[in-house]
């Protein structure tokens, strides 16, 4: 009764409202092509997956590809070829860390032989030999920890000097793990001699 109907509203107010409305933003503009179906969009996003006709033959091919990739990687680990190394060993920072370790004599590389000797001494029933094995155990652990701290400090300093703009994260831990392996068993094979500057 007291309300105005939409027909009674002044015409200039309606035209004013339409003219004040902002133009359609670009995000809502028409794209000029139909929206693809969901299945088509997913296929385009993932790319068409190759489905082999013979699954056994495809599995055999995949195994042979994997075998050849492993053989290439193994050959690269033995020769030090940078192009086929696994991602863990690639890059100039990791190569320098390997060379830094390989050019030095480390206490940690003698851990396994000493561990065998200490184990044999501890098995014997002689109290003097058991005391000797315990003493050797403490000495080798202290030597390894002390030498690892010195090596880590020196390597961190060298990496900061030589590769200031490269990411050296994990290189020190990588080098310390390499010290635990005997030199002849290290992979990738050492490329520098002992005493040679890396």
SS3 174: helix
Measured CA to CA in angstroms, residue 150 lies from 7, 93, 145, 185, 193 at distances of 91, 19, 9, 23, 20
Quick check: bond before 188 cis, omega within 30?
A: yes
Backbone angles phi, psi at 85, to 5 degrees: -70, 155
Task: Give the angle 102-183-192 at the CA atoms, nearest 5°.
Answer: 35
CA gap 107, 109 in Å, rounded: 6
CA gap 25, 35 in Å, rounded: 19
Predicted pLDDT at 16: 47
Which parts of the chain sit beneath pLDDT 50? 13-19
**Closest-CA residue to 156 (of 173, 141, 143):** 173
Predicted pLDDT at 13: 47
Burial 178-188 (b: 16+ CB within 10 A, else e): bbebeeeebbb
- pTM of the shown model: 0.63
Length of the chain: 198
Predicted pLDDT at 150: 95
Instruction: Please report, in angstroms and rounded to a whole number, the separation of the first and last CA atoms in the chain.
Output: 97
């Amino acid at each position: 009764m007291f309300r105005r109907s939409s027909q009674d509203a002044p015409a200039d107010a309606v035209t004013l409202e339409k003219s004040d409305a902002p133009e359609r933003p670009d995000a809502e503009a028409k794209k000029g092509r139909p929206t693809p179906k969901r299945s088509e969009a997913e296929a385009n996003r993932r790319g068409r997956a190759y489905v082999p006709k013979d699954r056994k033959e495809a599995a055999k091919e995949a195994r042979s590809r994997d075998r050849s990739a492993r053989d290439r990687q193994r050959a690269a680990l033995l020769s030090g070829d940078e192009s086929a190394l696994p991602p863990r060993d690639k890059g100039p920072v990791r190569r320098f860390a390997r060379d830094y370790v390989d050019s030095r004599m480390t206490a940690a590389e003698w851990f396994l032989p000493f561990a065998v000797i200490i184990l044999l001494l501890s098995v014997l029933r002689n109290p003097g030999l058991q005391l000797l094995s315990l003493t050797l155990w403490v000495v080798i652990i202290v030597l390894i920890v002390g030498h690892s701290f010195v090596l880590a400090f020196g390597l961190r300093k060298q990496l900061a000097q030589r590769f200031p703009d490269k990411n050296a994260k994990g290189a020190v831990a990588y080098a310390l793990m390499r010290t635990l392996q005997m030199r002849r068993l290290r992979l990738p094979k050492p490329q520098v001699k002992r005493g040679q500057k890396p």
